[in-house]
Amino acid sequence: MRTPGLTRDRSVFGAVHLGYVVVQSNRIAEWRRFGADAIGMHVDDAEDGALRFRLDDRAARFIIGRGPAEDVTALGWQVDDHETFDRIVARVADRGVPVVEGGAHEAALRGVERLWRFAGPKGIAQEIFTVPVTMPEPLRMLSSGWVTGEAGMGHVAILSREPDAMRGYYHTVFDSRLTDYVDENISGLKMKIRFLRVNERHHSIAIANIRGIKLDPIRTSVQHINIQSTTLDDMLAAFERVTDLGFRMQWSVGQHTNDRELSFYCRTPSDFELEVGWNPVVIGPECESTWEPATYPSISIWGHTPVGETVLDKFVRFRQALRAAAEPEITVPELQTGPRR
């Protein structure tokens, strides 16, 4: 697990990719209908009543296991090679954060040969692996395809009361780089969003905070997970199916200012959002060396308007924010070195 003479300060940027998302839910039947029939992913049954959704030849990209959390409980990150893997493990362990190998059953459920786990912000476990399991069986799904590859399976967006600590965490562990900022007024709240990349995807992590006050109006640990359709037709067809099947749409189709992605947002059965997008900016090698972060005054060029929000919805969010304010946000202080801006 550790390489003698390892150069710990060599960057791991570009060698890390979001590989899978683990969700704990007791709404398995709803998740099956949502993931397969509405979004259009391939679904397989797993042991203990769990579900696994595929986007490509990987055995699993979303793992929905039984449990009461109704939330994302872990993020799985693929690391390109064993040397880079050892470098990440050394960074974490040398700062006093335990790194634990996952059991054989956990690895099999996630579709990887082996995995190691360590603590992450907001209580979301971070899992790293090098060898994914691929499946020879063809995909059976309504979508014609999803964009994964070097950019990973998508991105995760998190609302945080400690955004500098969270940015420092991903800088320390994965050498994340700041792509840009968005300053936005959403439902009367002034939001600042930091977009971090760990590979060619415009961002694999987005960190939002309410400026001036430490409030978190969201029950779940993540605000949304993003996946990327291969074609515009696939994205629009998923939008229509989500609506027709009665799942809640959160934000209408629109286009973002910074990554130019066309997308919509809907609510999953566990209540965090899923963004289905198409054609975002890719920061390839030709752009990486000259990229300069910019600040955008709004999140969208057009569209992305709230759908069906009620006064009760706003009250529930406000009540959740007050409850959250009484409890400190889970951070990992040992891994918070790095940029503070």
How much is the average pLDDT of 199-216?
A: 93
With a cut of 90, say whether residue 170 has pLDDT above it. Answer: yes
When pLDDT is averaged across residues 123-129 and rounded to a whole number, the result is: 98
Considering the entire predicted model, what is its pTM?
A: 0.94
16-129 and 149-325, same CATH topology:
yes
> How high is the pLDDT of residue 212?
84
- Determine how many CB atoms are found less than 10 A away from the CB of residue 188: 6
Task: Kindly state the greatest CA–CA separation across the chain.
Answer: 59
3-state secondary structure string, 213-278? CCCCCCCCCCCEEEEEECCHHHHHHHHHHHHHCCCCEEEEEEEECCCCCEEEEEECCCCCEEEEEE
Beta-strand (E) ranges in the chain? 16-24, 42-45, 51-54, 62-65, 71-79, 100-101, 116-118, 125-129, 155-159, 177-186, 189-197, 205-210, 224-229, 249-256, 262-267, 273-278, 295-296, 300-303
Give the pLDDT confidence score for residue 98 in this predicted structure: 98
Question: How is the chain split into domains, by residue range?
Answer: 16-129, 149-325
List, in sequence order, every residue forming a beta bridge with 273; answer none if it has no partner: 224, 267
Query: How many residues are present in the chain?
Result: 341
Q: Could you tell me the pLDDT band of residue 215, with boundaries at 50, 70 and 90?
A: confident
pLDDT at 323 (0 to 100): 66
**Is the model's pLDDT at 186 over the cut of 50?**
yes
Q: Which CATH class is domain 149-325?
A: alpha beta
**pLDDT computed for residue 3 by the predictor:** 47
What confidence category does residue 318 fall into, taking pLDDT thresholds of 50, 70 and 90?
low
Question: Smallest Cα–Cα separation from 189: which of 273, 328, 277, 299?
Answer: 299
- The mean of the pLDDT values for the chain is 93
Task: Identify the CATH assignment for 16-129 out of 3.90.1300.10, 3.10.180.10, 3.40.225.10, 3.40.50.1100.
Answer: 3.10.180.10
**pLDDT of res. 196:** 98
What tokens were used for 274? Answer: 């899923």
The predicted-structure confidence for 4-16, as pLDDT tens digits, reads as follows: 445 567 999 999 9
